[in-house]
Structure 1
Amino acid sequence: MAAITLSIDIGGSKIKACTLSKSGKILQEYTKVPTPQSANPKNVLATIKELVQTFKYDRVSAGFPGYVRDGIVHTAPNLGTGYWAGINLAEELMVTLGKPARVVNDADLLGLGCVSGKGFEMMTTLGTGFGTAFYLEGKVLPHLEVAHHPIHKGQDYDAFIGEAAYNEIGKKKWNKRMQYVLSVTKTVFNYDRLYIGGGLSRKLDFKLDDNIILVNNIDGIDGGVKLWEQ
């Protein structure tokens, strides 16, 4: 029998989960709950355990909003790096849920389900912050925290175009900033294709280059399965 994958998206405001067949088809629809107010590992793991208690699955894939290497969290800017630095989240999920688990950055996971698998591709997510991921011939490359690189007058990407900035400056000014950001990423990364997801991607109101593709969480849903094929 083909393995069923539990796919978990740990976000700054919500934690979402669904189960997927081997082909990436949704078996149990996305269910979401608020991320706990004190988003430390103990609270987040308890929330996940409660969220998926009725789900049936054989393995776990999780996307986490921070720098993750080999399942170990190094930064968690929107949840609290002080809580998370050094936490082996893959191991913690395996202990909590009783199934083998893999963890990568949330943009890495979304992009795995979206990219074509041809050439050098980049994934960005526009939401609480600015998520990025890179792929070569469909293989996820080492994660870079581009979000924390200065982009304008000492501000990093998170501060310049994140959700807080959008709420402060409004849609028109935010779109102007996004045009600037996309011109920079195009010059710096020379990608074959750029995928843009996240809640704020729906606020983009200017014409995008032909090699820029807007995606949503459903488009990248089978990233949880493809993580086990890496």
Structure 2
Amino acid sequence: MSDAGSGPCTLAIDIGGTGLKAAVLDPEGRMVVKRVRVPTPSPSTPSTVLDTLAGLIKPLPPFDRISIGFPGVVRRGTVITAPNLGTKAWRGFPLQDEISKLFGKPARLENDAEVAGLGVIDGKGLEVVITLGTGFGSAIFSDGRMTPHLELAHHPVRRSETYDEYVGDAALKAVGRKKWNRRVLRIIVILRALLNYDTLHIGGGNAANITFKLPKNVILASNDKGITGGIRLWDDGVWHPR
């Protein structure tokens, strides 16, 4: 058991299409030291990602358990899709168990947008979380509980373009910030009509590029929430393996 506080410390890992991030959280979910980050290796195979994570966490303090956010669909600790890493290499990979074996600690794995959402939601009403980064992540919460995962990233939003293609990092670079902002605003309008959310939280590294005035029930979230939300994966009132 860690000596930082009166409970277990958690290694929180955020696996992204462009970067791997990690931090150790105290029992209240605060970072014990500044988070560490390295670029996602290329090719992004399970073995190269695991090797990179092993080196990434070496300077971090001790921990008792692990939370992982992954950019794709996961079921009961196993990867189903990994669109920004290479689904073919990842499909069926038991990432939760492999990370647990790698570091010798119990681990819990969930979609990265859902882990980030656990760090930002208020737990009241219908809350939607989207992340704008390499791709487009989404999560839906009802009174603080995760609902069945909806992979909006691969649903068409305009003609044959998916959400990933419409507002992902490649789209931002291709069309420029002004047009990209119009696209993000259009998605906000679509999600409001589709889900009638009480609150929409927007996170991810590219959220910093938003320049328009947000509606009153739309909130920008800290990019660190993909890390700090990991503490709540160990709340048994929240965690329900799917």
In the superposition, the TM-score normalised over structure 2's length comes to 0.92
State the shift of 1:96 in Å: 0.7
User: What are the ranges of 5 or more consecutive residues in structure 2 without an aligned counterpart?
Assistant: 1-5
Q: Indicate the larger mover: 77-86 or 216-225.
A: 216-225
Choose which of 216, 220, 224 in structure 2 pairs with 1:218. Answer: 224
Match of 2:42 in 1: 37
**Mapping for residues 46-65 of structure 1, pairs under 5 Å:** 46-55=51-60, 56-65=62-71
Q: Give the Cα separation in 1 of the matches to 2:140 and 2:132.
A: 15
Q: String of CA shifts for 1:92-111, please: whole Å, max 9, x gaps.
A: 11111100000111111111
Letter in 2 for 1:32: R
Q: Give the Cα separation in 1 of the matches to 2:92 and 2:148.
A: 18
State the shift of 1:166 in Å: 0.8
State the shift of 1:174 in Å: 1.0
Choose which of 56, 71, 77 in structure 1 pairs with 2:77. Answer: 71
Q: Any conservation in 1 of the 2:153–2:162 contact (CA below 8 Å)? A: yes
Is 1:95–2:89 an aligned residue pair?
A: no
Q: Give the Cα separation in 1 of the matches to 2:225 and 2:82.
A: 25
Q: 1:18 to 1:228 in 2, by over 3 A?
A: same
Q: Indicate the SS of the match to 1:27.
A: coil
Q: String of CA shifts for 1:41-95, please: whole Å, max 9, x gaps.
A: 1111111111112331000001001111211110000000001111111101111
State the shift of 1:194 in Å: 0.5
Match of 2:11 in 1: 6
Q: Give the Cα separation in 1 of the matches to 2:36 and 2:52.
A: 12
Letter in 2 for 1:29: K
Q: Give the Cα separation in 2 of the matches to 1:202 and 1:77.
A: 23
**Mapping for residues 1-230 of structure 1, pairs under 5 Å:** 1-55=6-60, 56-219=62-225, 221-229=227-235, 230=238
Q: Any conservation in 1 of the 2:113–2:130 contact (CA below 8 Å)? A: yes
Q: Any conservation in 2 of the 1:40–1:84 contact (CA below 8 Å)? A: yes
State the shift of 1:205 in Å: 1.3
In the superposition, the TM-score normalised over structure 1's length comes to 0.97
Identical-pair percentage: 46
Q: String of CA shifts for 1:138-175, please: whole Å, max 9, x gaps.
A: 11222111010001011101111111111011111111
Q: Indicate the SS of the match to 1:144.
A: coil
The number of aligned residues is: 230
Q: Give the Cα separation in 2 of the matches to 1:208 and 1:156.
A: 23
Q: Any conservation in 2 of the 1:62–1:103 contact (CA below 8 Å)? A: yes
Q: Indicate the SS of the match to 2:11.
A: strand
Q: Indicate the SS of the match to 1:178.
A: helix
Letter in 1 for 2:72: G
RMSD after superposition? 1.1
Q: Indicate the SS of the match to 2:101.
A: helix
